[in-house]
Amino acid sequence: MEKTEREDLAAWLKSQAADVVLSDCLQHIATSCIRIAHLVARAPLEGTAGSSDTTNIQGETQKQLDIISNDVMIEQLRLCPHIAAVVSEEVPDLIANPDAAENASFVVCFDPLDGSSNIETNAAIGTIFSVLELDGPTTDVTAESVLQSASNQIAAGYALYGPSTLLVLTTGKSVAVFALDPDEKRFFLIEAKVQIPEQTSEFAINMAYQRFWSPAVATYIEDCISGETGPRGKIFNMRWTGSMVADVHRLFVRGGIFLYPALSRPGGAQGKLRLLYEAAPMAFLVETAGGGASTGTRPVRSIEPEKLHQRAPVILGSKEEVELLTNLHHAS
Protein backbone atom coordinates (compact mmCIF):
# COMPACT_ATOMS: atom_id res chain seq x y z
CA MET A 1 0.00 0.00 0.00
CA GLU A 2 1.29 3.43 -0.93
CA LYS A 3 2.11 5.60 2.05
CA THR A 4 0.24 8.90 2.30
CA GLU A 5 2.00 12.09 3.38
CA ARG A 6 2.23 12.01 7.16
CA GLU A 7 2.51 14.98 9.52
CA ASP A 8 4.95 14.38 12.32
CA LEU A 9 5.00 16.04 15.74
CA ALA A 10 7.53 18.70 14.68
CA ALA A 11 5.43 19.73 11.67
CA TRP A 12 2.27 19.77 13.77
CA LEU A 13 3.85 21.98 16.41
CA LYS A 14 4.93 24.37 13.69
CA SER A 15 1.43 24.42 12.19
CA GLN A 16 -0.01 25.25 15.61
CA ALA A 17 2.22 28.30 15.81
CA ALA A 18 3.39 26.96 19.16
CA ASP A 19 6.37 29.10 20.05
CA VAL A 20 9.71 27.51 19.28
CA VAL A 21 10.75 27.37 22.90
CA LEU A 22 7.62 25.44 23.89
CA SER A 23 7.98 23.21 20.83
CA ASP A 24 11.52 22.34 21.87
CA CYS A 25 10.32 21.45 25.36
CA LEU A 26 7.53 19.23 23.99
CA GLN A 27 9.96 17.52 21.60
CA HIS A 28 12.16 16.60 24.55
CA ILE A 29 9.16 15.18 26.39
CA ALA A 30 8.16 13.18 23.29
CA THR A 31 11.70 11.83 22.96
CA SER A 32 11.55 10.65 26.59
CA CYS A 33 8.27 8.86 25.89
CA ILE A 34 9.73 7.11 22.81
CA ARG A 35 12.62 5.89 24.95
CA ILE A 36 10.28 4.75 27.75
CA ALA A 37 8.05 2.92 25.23
CA HIS A 38 11.12 0.98 24.09
CA LEU A 39 12.17 0.14 27.65
CA VAL A 40 8.61 -0.88 28.63
CA ALA A 41 8.42 -3.23 25.63
CA ARG A 42 11.77 -4.82 26.53
CA ALA A 43 11.05 -5.16 30.29
CA PRO A 44 10.18 -8.90 30.31
CA LEU A 45 13.36 -9.62 28.33
CA GLU A 46 15.54 -7.41 30.52
CA GLY A 47 14.07 -8.70 33.80
CA THR A 48 12.85 -5.21 34.71
CA ALA A 49 9.10 -5.86 34.87
CA GLY A 50 9.03 -6.45 38.61
CA SER A 51 9.17 -4.43 41.82
CA SER A 52 12.21 -2.75 43.32
CA ASP A 53 12.92 -2.70 47.06
CA THR A 54 12.35 1.06 47.39
CA THR A 55 9.32 3.21 48.18
CA ASN A 56 8.49 6.68 46.86
CA ILE A 57 7.26 9.82 48.66
CA GLN A 58 3.70 8.46 48.51
CA GLY A 59 4.81 5.36 50.44
CA GLU A 60 4.19 3.15 47.39
CA THR A 61 6.60 0.36 46.47
CA GLN A 62 8.32 1.43 43.26
CA LYS A 63 8.42 -0.83 40.24
CA GLN A 64 11.78 -1.06 38.50
CA LEU A 65 10.18 0.65 35.51
CA ASP A 66 8.96 3.54 37.71
CA ILE A 67 12.61 4.25 38.53
CA ILE A 68 13.90 3.65 35.01
CA SER A 69 11.22 5.88 33.43
CA ASN A 70 11.87 8.60 35.99
CA ASP A 71 15.59 8.53 35.16
CA VAL A 72 14.85 8.77 31.43
CA MET A 73 12.59 11.79 31.93
CA ILE A 74 15.08 13.61 34.15
CA GLU A 75 18.05 12.92 31.85
CA GLN A 76 16.18 13.89 28.70
CA LEU A 77 14.52 17.04 30.06
CA ARG A 78 17.85 18.25 31.41
CA LEU A 79 18.92 18.59 27.77
CA CYS A 80 16.26 21.25 27.18
CA PRO A 81 17.66 24.63 28.25
CA HIS A 82 14.18 26.18 28.50
CA ILE A 83 13.20 23.85 31.35
CA ALA A 84 14.12 25.44 34.67
CA ALA A 85 13.07 22.47 36.81
CA VAL A 86 11.02 19.30 36.94
CA VAL A 87 8.66 17.73 39.48
CA SER A 88 8.26 13.95 39.45
CA GLU A 89 5.91 11.58 41.25
CA GLU A 90 8.97 9.55 42.16
CA VAL A 91 11.08 12.33 43.69
CA PRO A 92 10.15 14.20 46.91
CA ASP A 93 11.50 17.64 45.97
CA LEU A 94 11.63 19.82 42.91
CA ILE A 95 14.71 19.14 40.76
CA ALA A 96 16.33 22.26 39.32
CA ASN A 97 17.89 21.80 35.87
CA PRO A 98 21.63 22.44 36.31
CA ASP A 99 21.93 23.11 32.56
CA ALA A 100 18.99 25.52 32.25
CA ALA A 101 19.42 28.78 30.35
CA GLU A 102 19.26 31.97 32.40
CA ASN A 103 15.86 32.85 30.97
CA ALA A 104 14.39 29.34 31.37
CA SER A 105 10.77 29.66 32.48
CA PHE A 106 9.21 26.20 32.11
CA VAL A 107 8.65 23.59 34.76
CA VAL A 108 7.57 20.11 33.69
CA CYS A 109 5.59 18.05 36.21
CA PHE A 110 5.31 14.36 35.36
CA ASP A 111 4.15 10.93 36.39
CA PRO A 112 6.87 8.93 34.62
CA LEU A 113 4.88 5.72 34.66
CA ASP A 114 1.18 5.75 35.41
CA GLY A 115 -0.69 2.54 36.19
CA SER A 116 2.52 0.77 37.07
CA SER A 117 0.64 -1.87 39.10
CA ASN A 118 -0.35 -3.16 35.64
CA ILE A 119 3.20 -3.80 34.41
CA GLU A 120 3.38 -7.51 35.23
CA THR A 121 -0.02 -8.12 33.62
CA ASN A 122 1.12 -6.48 30.37
CA ALA A 123 -1.83 -4.08 30.42
CA ALA A 124 -1.65 -0.48 29.18
CA ILE A 125 0.43 2.02 31.17
CA GLY A 126 1.60 5.55 30.38
CA THR A 127 3.40 8.79 31.15
CA ILE A 128 1.51 11.96 32.12
CA PHE A 129 3.02 15.45 31.90
CA SER A 130 2.16 19.09 32.47
CA VAL A 131 4.17 22.11 31.32
CA LEU A 132 3.90 25.15 33.60
CA GLU A 133 5.21 28.61 32.89
CA LEU A 134 6.80 30.44 35.80
CA ASP A 135 5.63 33.99 36.44
CA GLY A 136 9.02 35.15 35.20
CA PRO A 137 12.40 33.64 34.38
CA THR A 138 14.33 32.87 37.52
CA THR A 139 17.75 31.49 38.28
CA ASP A 140 16.55 30.18 41.61
CA VAL A 141 13.41 28.16 40.96
CA THR A 142 11.77 26.92 44.16
CA ALA A 143 8.78 24.72 44.99
CA GLU A 144 6.92 27.91 46.01
CA SER A 145 7.37 29.47 42.58
CA VAL A 146 6.05 26.29 40.97
CA LEU A 147 3.01 26.16 43.27
CA GLN A 148 2.19 29.76 42.38
CA SER A 149 2.27 28.82 38.71
CA ALA A 150 0.33 25.60 38.91
CA SER A 151 -2.79 27.03 37.30
CA ASN A 152 -0.58 28.32 34.46
CA GLN A 153 -0.41 25.14 32.41
CA ILE A 154 0.61 25.95 28.87
CA ALA A 155 0.69 22.37 27.63
CA ALA A 156 -0.23 18.94 28.89
CA GLY A 157 -0.42 15.42 27.60
CA TYR A 158 0.22 11.75 28.06
CA ALA A 159 1.84 8.86 26.30
CA LEU A 160 -0.10 5.60 26.35
CA TYR A 161 1.97 2.42 26.07
CA GLY A 162 -0.66 -0.03 24.84
CA PRO A 163 -0.84 -2.21 21.71
CA SER A 164 0.34 1.01 20.02
CA THR A 165 2.17 3.89 21.66
CA LEU A 166 0.08 7.05 21.41
CA LEU A 167 0.84 10.63 22.39
CA VAL A 168 -2.12 12.84 23.28
CA LEU A 169 -1.23 16.51 23.50
CA THR A 170 -2.71 19.94 24.01
CA THR A 171 -1.33 23.45 24.01
CA GLY A 172 -4.80 24.74 24.89
CA LYS A 173 -6.30 25.06 21.39
CA SER A 174 -7.23 21.47 20.63
CA VAL A 175 -6.33 17.95 21.66
CA ALA A 176 -4.30 16.06 19.07
CA VAL A 177 -3.43 12.38 18.97
CA PHE A 178 -0.19 11.01 17.55
CA ALA A 179 0.93 7.40 17.06
CA LEU A 180 4.51 6.25 17.38
CA ASP A 181 6.12 4.71 14.33
CA PRO A 182 8.54 2.42 16.20
CA ASP A 183 10.70 1.90 13.09
CA GLU A 184 11.21 5.62 12.51
CA LYS A 185 11.06 6.47 16.23
CA ARG A 186 8.78 9.43 15.44
CA PHE A 187 5.25 10.39 16.37
CA PHE A 188 2.80 11.02 13.51
CA LEU A 189 -0.52 12.84 13.74
CA ILE A 190 -3.55 10.54 13.55
CA GLU A 191 -6.26 12.90 14.83
CA ALA A 192 -6.01 16.68 14.89
CA LYS A 193 -8.98 17.56 17.08
CA VAL A 194 -10.64 15.04 19.36
CA GLN A 195 -13.91 16.01 21.05
CA ILE A 196 -15.48 14.24 24.01
CA PRO A 197 -19.20 13.58 23.41
CA GLU A 198 -21.40 15.54 25.86
CA GLN A 199 -23.43 12.51 26.87
CA THR A 200 -22.39 9.01 27.73
CA SER A 201 -23.51 5.66 29.03
CA GLU A 202 -20.21 4.38 30.39
CA PHE A 203 -18.51 5.01 33.73
CA ALA A 204 -15.13 4.13 35.22
CA ILE A 205 -14.68 3.86 38.98
CA ASN A 206 -13.09 1.36 41.34
CA MET A 207 -16.25 -0.28 42.72
CA ALA A 208 -14.27 -1.94 45.52
CA TYR A 209 -14.34 1.37 47.43
CA GLN A 210 -18.12 1.76 47.30
CA ARG A 211 -18.39 1.78 51.11
CA PHE A 212 -16.17 4.90 51.21
CA TRP A 213 -18.09 6.98 48.64
CA SER A 214 -19.90 10.26 49.37
CA PRO A 215 -23.72 10.18 49.11
CA ALA A 216 -23.47 12.09 45.79
CA VAL A 217 -21.16 9.51 44.16
CA ALA A 218 -23.16 6.62 45.63
CA THR A 219 -26.41 8.05 44.21
CA TYR A 220 -24.86 8.75 40.80
CA ILE A 221 -23.50 5.20 40.40
CA GLU A 222 -26.66 3.62 41.81
CA ASP A 223 -28.71 5.52 39.22
CA CYS A 224 -26.35 4.36 36.45
CA ILE A 225 -26.51 0.70 37.40
CA SER A 226 -30.29 0.78 37.78
CA GLY A 227 -30.36 0.61 34.00
CA GLU A 228 -33.35 1.23 31.77
CA THR A 229 -35.91 1.08 34.61
CA GLY A 230 -33.91 3.46 36.86
CA PRO A 231 -33.99 7.28 36.96
CA ARG A 232 -31.51 7.55 34.04
CA GLY A 233 -33.72 5.34 31.86
CA LYS A 234 -30.81 3.71 30.03
CA ILE A 235 -28.25 0.96 30.36
CA PHE A 236 -24.73 1.94 31.47
CA ASN A 237 -21.54 -0.01 30.98
CA MET A 238 -18.52 0.00 33.33
CA ARG A 239 -14.75 -0.18 32.69
CA TRP A 240 -11.80 0.18 35.09
CA THR A 241 -8.27 -0.69 34.05
CA GLY A 242 -6.38 0.72 37.05
CA SER A 243 -4.30 2.90 34.69
CA MET A 244 -5.54 6.47 34.61
CA VAL A 245 -3.99 6.99 31.16
CA ALA A 246 -5.90 4.05 29.70
CA ASP A 247 -9.17 4.97 31.42
CA VAL A 248 -8.91 8.63 30.37
CA HIS A 249 -7.92 7.72 26.82
CA ARG A 250 -11.20 5.87 26.49
CA LEU A 251 -12.98 9.20 27.20
CA PHE A 252 -11.36 10.67 24.09
CA VAL A 253 -12.31 7.65 21.99
CA ARG A 254 -15.96 7.16 22.97
CA GLY A 255 -16.84 9.48 25.86
CA GLY A 256 -17.69 8.39 29.37
CA ILE A 257 -16.94 9.51 32.89
CA PHE A 258 -13.90 8.68 35.01
CA LEU A 259 -13.99 9.03 38.79
CA TYR A 260 -11.40 8.74 41.50
CA PRO A 261 -13.44 10.57 44.14
CA ALA A 262 -12.86 11.59 47.74
CA LEU A 263 -13.11 8.49 49.95
CA SER A 264 -14.16 8.35 53.60
CA ARG A 265 -11.37 5.89 54.48
CA PRO A 266 -8.40 7.24 56.49
CA GLY A 267 -6.28 9.51 54.26
CA GLY A 268 -8.85 9.37 51.45
CA ALA A 269 -10.44 12.85 51.75
CA GLN A 270 -8.57 14.03 48.65
CA GLY A 271 -8.93 10.78 46.72
CA LYS A 272 -5.70 9.26 45.44
CA LEU A 273 -4.57 11.01 42.28
CA ARG A 274 -1.95 13.73 42.51
CA LEU A 275 -2.90 17.22 41.37
CA LEU A 276 0.19 18.51 39.58
CA TYR A 277 1.03 15.54 37.39
CA GLU A 278 -2.18 13.49 37.17
CA ALA A 279 -5.36 15.48 37.87
CA ALA A 280 -4.39 18.90 36.43
CA PRO A 281 -2.94 17.79 33.07
CA MET A 282 -5.84 15.39 32.48
CA ALA A 283 -8.31 18.16 33.39
CA PHE A 284 -6.62 20.50 30.88
CA LEU A 285 -6.84 17.85 28.13
CA VAL A 286 -10.43 16.85 28.88
CA GLU A 287 -11.71 20.45 29.09
CA THR A 288 -9.90 21.40 25.88
CA ALA A 289 -11.73 18.50 24.19
CA GLY A 290 -15.10 19.84 25.37
CA GLY A 291 -15.44 17.71 28.50
CA GLY A 292 -15.70 18.58 32.19
CA ALA A 293 -13.20 18.24 35.06
CA SER A 294 -14.30 18.70 38.65
CA THR A 295 -13.44 17.52 42.14
CA GLY A 296 -17.19 17.32 42.76
CA THR A 297 -17.29 20.72 44.41
CA ARG A 298 -14.97 22.85 42.24
CA PRO A 299 -13.13 22.78 38.90
CA VAL A 300 -9.91 20.76 39.21
CA ARG A 301 -7.96 23.58 37.56
CA SER A 302 -9.14 26.16 40.09
CA ILE A 303 -7.18 24.53 42.92
CA GLU A 304 -4.19 26.52 44.11
CA PRO A 305 -1.79 23.79 45.23
CA GLU A 306 0.05 24.04 48.51
CA LYS A 307 2.28 21.00 48.12
CA LEU A 308 4.02 19.39 45.17
CA HIS A 309 2.50 15.96 45.78
CA GLN A 310 -0.95 16.93 47.03
CA ARG A 311 -3.90 14.86 45.93
CA ALA A 312 -7.26 15.91 44.50
CA PRO A 313 -10.57 14.10 43.93
CA VAL A 314 -11.12 13.69 40.18
CA ILE A 315 -14.28 13.53 38.08
CA LEU A 316 -13.52 13.78 34.36
CA GLY A 317 -15.38 13.23 31.14
CA SER A 318 -18.53 13.93 29.18
CA LYS A 319 -19.73 17.39 30.14
CA GLU A 320 -23.35 16.60 30.99
CA GLU A 321 -22.35 13.70 33.27
CA VAL A 322 -19.75 15.77 35.14
CA GLU A 323 -22.34 18.55 35.58
CA LEU A 324 -24.94 16.09 36.83
CA LEU A 325 -22.54 14.71 39.44
CA THR A 326 -21.39 18.19 40.45
CA ASN A 327 -25.05 19.17 40.98
CA LEU A 328 -25.54 16.08 43.17
CA HIS A 329 -22.54 17.15 45.27
CA HIS A 330 -23.91 20.66 45.71
CA ALA A 331 -27.36 19.31 46.61
CA SER A 332 -26.07 16.90 49.29
* Contact status: 111 vs Mn ion (CB under 5 A): yes
Q: How many CB atoms lie within 10 A of CB 139?
A: 11
Give 111 or 220: the residue with its C-beta nearer to Mn ion: 111
Instruction: Kindly state the DSSP code that residue 5 receives in the 8-state scheme.
Output: P
CB nearer to ligand AHG: give 47 or 59: 59
What is the C-alpha separation between 197 and 175, in angstroms, rounded? 14
CB of 137 to ligand AHG, least distance (A): 31
Residue 89 or 287: the one with the smaller Cβ distance to Mn ion is 89
User: What one-character-per-residue DSSP string does 285-296 give?
Assistant: HHHHTT-EEE-S
Which residue, judged by CB position, is nearest to ligand AHG in the bound state?
Answer: 244
| E-assigned strand segments in 134-256 | 153-161, 165-170, 175-181, 186-191, 202-204, 237-238
Closer to ligand AHG by Cβ: residue 82 or 309: 309
Q: Which residues bind ligand AHG (CB under 6 A)?
A: 60, 89, 111, 114-117, 206, 242-244, 260, 272
Least CB distance from residue 240 to ligand AHG, whole Å? 7
Q: Determine the Cα–Cα distance for residues 115 and 105; give it in Å rounded to an integer.
A: 30
Of these partners, ligand AHG, Mn ion, none, which one is at the site of residue 48 (CB under 5 to 8 Å by kind)?
none
Contacts with Mn ion in 262-301 (CB under 5 A)? none
AA letter at 253: V
Q: Pick the closer one to Mn ion by CB: 55 or 237.
A: 55
Q: How far is the CB of 63 from Mn ion (least distance, A)?
A: 9
Instruction: Assign 79 to helix, strand or coil.
Output: coil
> Judged by CB, which is closer to Mn ion: 169, or 328?
169
How remote is the C-alpha of 320 from its chain's centroid?
21
247 binds Mn ion (CB under 5 A): no
For residue 202, state whether it binds Mn ion (rule: CB under 5 A). no
Residue number of the CB closest to Mn ion reads 114
Amino acid letter, 43: A
Other CB atoms within 10 Å distance of the CB of residue 319? 20
* Residue 75 · residue 96 · CB < 8 Å: no
Q: How many residues bind Mn ion (CB under 5 A)?
A: 4
The minimum distance between CB 59 and ligand AHG, in angstroms, equals: 11
In the complex, minimum distance from the CB of residue 205 to ligand AHG, in angstroms, rounded to a whole number: 9
Residues in contact with 302: Cβ distance below 8 Å, sequence separation at least 6, in sequence order? 151
